[in-house]
Amino acid sequence: MSLSLSDFKKYKNIVIQCHDNPDADALASGFALQWYLRGEGIDARFIYGGKFPVQKPNLLLMTEHLGINAEYVSTLEKPELLITVDCQYGESNVTYFEADHIAIIDHHQVSAELPDLSDVRSTYGSCSTIIYELLQKENVDINSDINVSTALYYGLMTDTGGFAEISHPSDKDLRDFAHFKTDDILLFKNSNLSREELSIAGDALNAARYNEEYRYGVIEAAPCDPNILGIISDMFLEVSGVDTCLVYSILPFGVKLSVRSCVKEVRAGELAAYLAENLGGGGGHMYKAGGFLKKDLLERASIPYEKKALDKYIDDRMSQYFKDSVIIYAETHHEDISSFSRFVKNEFSVGYVEASKFAPPGRKITIRTLEGDVDVCVEKDLYIIIGVDGEIYPCTGAHFKRSYRKQFKPYVFPGEYPPAVIDVENGERIGLLPFAKSCLTHGGNGIYAKELTHRVKIFTSWDKQKYYLGNIGDFLAVRVDDTSDIYVINRDIFFKTYSPIES
């Protein structure tokens, strides 16, 4: 990230531009950036181009209720600085205007060479989140203006399918931190469905396909707004005998997916990512998720971009997901370790946090990581280990004493995303690094481990509602001194942290 909002303060003639036919995320991002610049004494304009001005009822209500002045223009006098938000300068969906200098703030895939003033984070669910973090960096509180915080909240909500497709921790932070006007959000949210879209939903539900063995259903819907797919998914999941469902729509440039689950054995976000693997992207939380299959990637994978071939790919992929997944409930499972090898942990420095230093015993916390959220209850001897790549996992006091030795030197965090936990009771986000100390791993009795040749979902003793996913090439591990302690170790982390014991 090479950009700070303070970089813009040296320019006086600034125009903010979002993509043609703007959505809520684009409007929110431009609005919040304009609000910041005006607070710095810069009267920036906020514009968009294209064939038509905003027409969707929810967006018209959004601009009216929150005071968003996004100007619809066809010409523009050359500004000193043009900042594109939720899009990239030169893209086909961004009306071209000349400017002395260009800046880009976006969350989509990079489409061309970026200017020096740019911040593109393609793993984020919304541009609103990037604006939120850039404002935080300037010590600007979005909640000081309820219209701004409501706009950013709604921008994130709509770009992640009602928060169903959230996967990045920063998106979750904005969702949890932003104050918003409840009445306005409800009004915007319930102004999406037209009569035509109601007909699309009805036709789609009438053509549902079912798999009785694995209790899932699949629906193809006519091209429509992504939010409509979510509405159809929610309705479909209420059908008896359907525990998991997929609704998709074939668009000119790709296939939009909406996934729902009501059972803990299928995490919707993980299923969405599986369906879109190497063909686009997907993610979300346990029960709601979404994804997208890109047309060019499908064709590159020799999947013809026509209805019959796409229907077959989706049906086959859904079936394969259930056939290939082995589910382990650690508390009652007894693993046959006869084909496992024994390994010992290498000696290296990692971080640890005593949970009781930031939360009282009995308090429920959510450990927020790049891999997902883990819910645990704080106990006097609960430790949180910060691993070699910044990965986080809980650890009992007894396990800590067996496997780690405390060090008296400062801890240096190696990862990308500073680890944090959420206090479930009050929603407070607590950063772990101020509490982190160094410790040294040591081998102990080691583990039995075996490379996975199939997908595994493990419900550990820590969290009986959320599984840890192991993919082909990862390692299934069983502690030598506690064979009920079964877990998954990422392949890259395994080879960094363990060595075989020669027989």
Phi, psi angles (nearest 5°) of residue 394: -80, 160
Average pLDDT over residues 49-67: 90
Q: For 118-130, what is the mean pLDDT?
A: 89
Contacts 24+ apart (CB under 8 A), 32-39: 32/128, 32/131, 32/132, 32/135, 32/142, 32/148, 32/151, 32/152, 33/5, 33/83, 33/85, 33/105, 33/131, 35/145, 35/148, 36/5, 36/135, 36/138, 36/140, 37/8, 39/140
- In the predicted structure, residue 186 carries a pLDDT above the cut 50: yes
Q: Which stretch, 295-309, 385-399, 453-467, has highest mean pLDDT?
A: 295-309
Q: Residue 499 belongs to what H/E stretch?
A: strand 498-500
Q: Tell me which of 289 and 111 has the higher pLDDT.
A: 289
Q: What is the residue-averaged pLDDT of the chain?
A: 89
Query: Is the pLDDT confidence value at 372 over 60?
Result: no
pLDDT for 365 equals: 87
- Cβ distance 260 to 268 under 8 Å? yes
What is this structure's pTM? 0.64
> Is the predicted pLDDT of residue 111 greater than 80, yes or no?
no
Question: What mean pLDDT comes out for the span 429-452?
Answer: 87
Q: What is the pLDDT of residue 369?
A: 59
Can you name the residues that pair with 9 across neighbouring β-strands? none
Percent of the chain clearing pLDDT 90 (strictly above): 53
Measured between its terminal Cα atoms, the distance across the chain in Å is: 48
Please give the full DSSP string across 450-471, using - where no structure is assigned.
EE-SSEEEEE-SS-SSSPEEE-
pLDDT for the residue numbered 1: 45
d(CA 151, CA 180): 8
pLDDT, tens digit (0-9, with 9 covering 90-100), for 294-347: 999 999 999 999 999 999 999 999 999 999 899 999 888 888 888 899 998 888
pLDDT per residue as tens digits for the range 272-287:
989 999 998 887 667 8
* Cα distance between residue 26 and residue 173, in whole Å: 19
Token pair 């879109």 in the structure block, residue: 276
Q: Does the pLDDT value for residue 130 go beyond 80? A: yes
| Each residue's pLDDT tens digit, 88-101 | 998 878 999 999 99
Which pLDDT score is estimated for 2?
Answer: 63
Q: Structural domains in the chain?
A: 5-189 (3.90.1640.10), 195-323 (3.10.310.40), 341-500 (no CATH)
Give the pLDDT mean for 212-240: 88
Provide the pLDDT for residue 43. 95
